[in-house]
C-alpha cells in the first residue's frame, strides 16, 4: 500500500507512505505551526512548536511518519497553550527587539507570536550576553536573535555541501559555532541557501535589510501559515 489514510482534527488526510505528519498536513492544506522545520532539508525535531497529539500522545509532526488510521489533533486549546509557552520561552531566552530588527515582518518567530496572540511574555527575560559576528563582508550573524533551530546548519550541510556552522556547548550554554571561528574565515557565500534558511534575523545578508519596506513584508498582511491554509480553501 503506497498510501496511508488518517485524520487531523477530524479531517480525512491521505499521505504518501514515508511522508511525515507535517508534510501530509501541508499537502492537505492544514497548517501545523513550525520553526525548525524547513522543506527540502531533513527535519531537526528541535523546536517542538509542531507538537501534535497522535492517538492522544504528544509527537513532533516534523519527524513522526504518517500511519494508517492514526488520529491526529493539531488544533486544541492544550496544544495552543504548549506552543505558546515554547514561543514565549524562545522570546525571553534570547534578545529579540522586533521594533529594531530588519527581519521584522519577515520573521517566523514574530509571525508566530502574532498568530498565537503573544503580547507580554509570562517568563522572565534572560538578557543573555551573546557575540555578534560582523566579520564577513556580506553576511552578519547576530546570535542575540538565534533560536538554535539548526536550519542554517542542516541547509549548509545538505544543500550547500559545506559545514560552515554547527552547535557548540550544551543545555543553556548551547550556541551556534562557526567553523573557522569567524564568519569571514569560512567559505560562506551570501548566495548560500544556509543564509536564507534562517527564520529569524540571526543570519542575514548585509545591506538589504530594508529592501522591502515595512508594510509590504511577508507576514505584514496575513498570518503565517495562511498560504498553506489557502490550499484547503481553494485559494485566498
Ligand atoms: Fe536557526 Fe538562524 Fe540560529 Fe541558524 S542562525 S540556528 S537558522 S536561528
Instruction: Provide, rounded to the nearest whole percent, the portion of the chain with pLDDT above 70.
Output: 98
Provide the 10 A C-beta neighbour count for residue 1: 6
What does each C-alpha distance from 191 to 102, 138, 141, 205 come to in angstroms? Answer: 19, 10, 15, 9
> pTM surpassing 0.85?
yes
Residue-wise pLDDT tens digits, 139-154: 999 999 999 999 999 9
Instruction: Provide, rounded to the nearest whole percent, the portion of the chain with pLDDT above 90.
Output: 90
Q: Above 60 in pLDDT, residue 94?
A: yes
Q: pLDDT-based confidence at 236, cuts 50/70/90?
A: very low
Residue nearest to atom 7 of ligand 1 (CA): 198
DSSP 9-54: TTEEEEEETT-BHHHHHHHTT-----SS--TTS-----S-TTEEEE
Out of 150, 152, 166, mutate this one to test ligand 1's pocket (max ligand atoms within 8 Å of CB): namely 152
> Which atom of ligand 1 has the smallest separation from the CA of 149?
1
Over residues 143-172, the mean pLDDT reads 94
Amino acid at each position: 500500500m503506497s498510501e496511508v489514510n488518517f485524520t487531523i482534527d477530524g479531517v480525512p488526510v491521505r499521505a504518501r507512505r514515508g511522508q511525515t505528519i507535517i508534510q501530509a498536513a501541508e499537502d492537505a492544506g492544514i497548517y501545523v505551526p513550525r520553526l525548525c522545520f524547513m522543506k527540502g532539508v531533513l527535519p531537526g525535531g528541535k523546536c517542538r512548536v509542531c507538537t501534535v497529539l497522535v492517538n492522544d500522545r504528544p509527537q513532533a509532526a516534523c519527524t513522526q511518519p504518517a500511519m494508517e488510521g492514526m488520529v491526529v489533533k493539531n488544533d486544541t486549546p492544550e496544544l495552543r497553550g504548549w506552543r505558546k509557552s515554547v514561543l514565549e520561552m524562545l522570546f525571553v531566552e534570547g534578545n529579540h527587539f522586533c521594533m529594531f530588527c530588519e527581519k521584522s515582518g519577515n520573521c517566523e518567530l514574530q509571525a508566530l507570536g502574532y498568530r498565537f496572540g503573544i503580547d507580554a511574555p509570562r517568563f522572565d527575560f534572560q538578557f543573555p550576553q551573546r557575540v555578534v559576528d560582523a566579520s564577513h563582508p556580506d553576511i552578519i550573524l547576530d546570535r542575540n536573535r538565534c533560536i538554535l533551530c539548526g536550519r542554517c546548519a542542516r541547509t549548509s550541510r545538505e544543500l550547500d555541501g559545506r559545514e560552515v556552522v554547527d552547535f557548540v556547548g550544551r543545555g543553556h550554554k548551547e550556541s551556534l559555532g562557526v567553523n573557522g571561528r569567524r564568519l569571514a574565515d569560512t567559505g560562506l557565500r551570501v548566495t548560500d541557501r544556509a543564509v536564507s534558511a534562517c527564520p529569524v534575523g540571526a543570519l542575514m545578508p548585509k545591506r538589504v535589510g530594508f529592501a522591502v519596506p515595512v508594510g509590504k513584508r511577508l507576514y505584514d498582511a496575513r498570518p503565517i501559515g495562511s498560504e498553506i491554509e489557502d490550499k484547503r480553501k481553494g485559494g485566498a
